[in-house]
A and B are shown apart, each in its own frame.
Chain A
Amino acid sequence: MNFTVHLTENCNMACSYCLREKTPRDMSLETLYKTIDLAYSKGNKAGFCFFGGEPLLKKDLIYEALDYCEKKTSETGIPFACKMTTNGTLIDEEFLKRAKAVNMKIGLSFDGKGQDISRRFPDGSSTAEILEKKAKLILSYLPNTMAMLTLDPKACGVLCDSVKYLLSLGFRDVSTVMAYGKNVSWTDEDLEVYKVEINKVADFLRDEFKAGRKHYVTPLVNKIRECVNGKNPAEHCHLGVRQLSVTPDGNIYPCTSFINDEEYYMGNVFEGLDKERMAKIAAKSNTPETCKECDLKSRCTNSCGCANRMNTGSADKVSPLQCTYERTIIEVADRLGDELYEYNAKEFADFFAVKA
């Protein structure tokens, strides 16, 4: 099974939209080993996403985890896969060599041209220049690294420029998501700017596609792909039955947004998962009442417990912001999809259709 492993609650940055409370709490080696043991004990493969806070503050633990996983795989025959979400500021060549050796996929939190709007060091100093250098270094070792752009409303106006910039650095995979929660405030005007910008991104991707350059930029590409392949976005997230979060203390929750919420506690790595609690939590992951009669319900992330909880405080209630956002991107994605399909149906199918 898969775990998001919160190696620490500490971080060396102070991003304005971050919802995570920073503490000096780190995971112990014993808890880490127990987490790995539990992952190997269920299913045919073990997966770990190293997370935090900032996971590279605990490089030592990551190396220990990789050594232990290699030993477990050798003993059990069960393969493991690992990923890491990082702010990138602490990455170095030694780490990248090890990451490359285990085929680690990295998600680099990098807001492109909006980096210094929201993502600064605690003393307020800039991170943009450092991130550009680190991005190039990471890509030189791991060309499949994903750039993860979190869009602050204040950075809406540079979304398209940010996407172009990240692609120009060499990223082949750019994920853009909205910043949610109590530390950001979206207005109708911001969403109008967003609509203009995401349309510009779609135009850019269309022109690039026609020029023979195909880029993976979400949410547009995955909205088209999901539609083509008959996939419901809800399949990516079903509370408590896919990838679970493990805190530094070894407690288990459905996802990062539910950490330390007693109602969503699922057990711990020492005593195991509580099946009764798991079933109750999974039952909360349903199509919200407001969405049941909507034609788009199987194309939008209305059942994402994390996004819902960040926006409404409730895992099964969608917010007006989320609804407006989803309607916008589905409309833009469908426009892009139609244009590309009309341009060259076979190329479109080759890129968007997942082969059986």
Chain B
Amino acid sequence: MKINPKHDYKKPLYAVGIATLIGATALFGTACGPQIAGGMDIVETEVQLGGAAQTAETEAVEETEAEE
């Protein structure tokens, strides 16, 4: 295992296609990490389940109705 930056990554088909389908304008998020500002205050979000790297909740479970 090693740190291996990727330089030949191509957008997956679904990412290209879905932009057309839903008119999404922002893909792949921001180009850099979160913006840092001095004196940054608390950002309000939905409460997450605790546990280090276990903050991998799929928010859509809250947003959509569970399928029967």
Chain A residues with a Cβ under 8 A of chain B:
1-2, 4, 19, 42-45, 47-49, 51, 81-85, 105, 107, 109, 143-144, 146, 148, 150, 172-173, 175-178, 180, 186, 188, 191, 213-214, 216, 218-219, 221-222, 224-238, 241-245, 255-257, 273, 275, 278-279, 282-283, 285-287, 290-291, 293-299, 301-304, 306-307, 310, 318-321, 323-324, 327, 334, 337-338, 340-342, 345-346, 348-349, 352-354
| A256 and B51 contacting across the interface, CB-CB below 8 Å | yes
Q: Which residues of B contact A222 (CB under 8 A)?
A: 56-58
Interface hits, B12-68 → A, CB 8 Å: 12-15, 17-18, 21-22, 24-34, 36-63, 66-67
| B33 and A232 contacting across the interface, CB-CB below 8 Å | yes
A226, closest chain B residue (CB): B29
Closest Cβ of chain B to A56, distance in Å, is 14
| A241 and B22 contacting across the interface, CB-CB below 8 Å | no
Query: In the complex, which range does the number of interface residues on chain B fall in?
Result: 35 or more
Measured CA separation A44–B43 after assembly (Å): 11
A-B contact pairs, 19 of them (CB 8 A): A47-B46, A49-B49, A143-B66, A146-B61, A173-B61, A175-B54, A175-B58, A180-B53, A222-B57, A231-B29, A234-B33, A243-B47, A290-B3, A295-B5, A295-B8, A298-B28, A323-B3, A338-B14, A352-B14
Chain B residues with a Cβ under 8 A of chain A:
1-9, 12-15, 17-18, 21-22, 24-34, 36-63, 66-67
| B42 and A298 contacting across the interface, CB-CB below 8 Å | no
The residue from A229, A290, A298, A321 contacting B1, defined by CB atoms under 8 A apart: A321
Total A-B Cβ pairs within 8 A: 251
Closest Cβ of chain A to B16, distance in Å, is 9
Known: A232-B30, A286-B36. 20 other contacts (CB 8 A): A83-B48, A105-B62, A222-B57, A224-B14, A228-B15, A228-B24, A231-B29, A243-B48, A245-B50, A278-B40, A286-B33, A287-B33, A290-B5, A294-B6, A320-B3, A321-B1, A327-B6, A337-B12, A341-B17, A353-B24
| B53 and A81 contacting across the interface, CB-CB below 8 Å | no
Closest Cβ of chain B to A252, distance in Å, is 11
Q: Which residues of A contact B22 (CB under 8 A)?
A: 228, 349, 353
Q: Which residues of A contact B54 (CB under 8 A)?
A: 85, 107, 148, 150, 175, 177
| B33 and A2 contacting across the interface, CB-CB below 8 Å | no
| A48 and B47 contacting across the interface, CB-CB below 8 Å | yes
Task: Pick from A81, A232, A287 the residue with the most CB of B within 10 Å.
Answer: A232
Q: Which residues of B contact A242 (CB under 8 A)?
A: 42-43, 45, 48
Q: Which residues of B contact A340 (CB under 8 A)?
A: 14
Task: Pick from B48, B55, B63 the residue with the most CB of A within 10 Å.
Answer: B55
Measured CA separation A242–B55 after assembly (Å): 12
The residue from B1, B13, B48, B55 contacting A341, defined by CB atoms under 8 A apart: B13
| A327 and B7 contacting across the interface, CB-CB below 8 Å | no
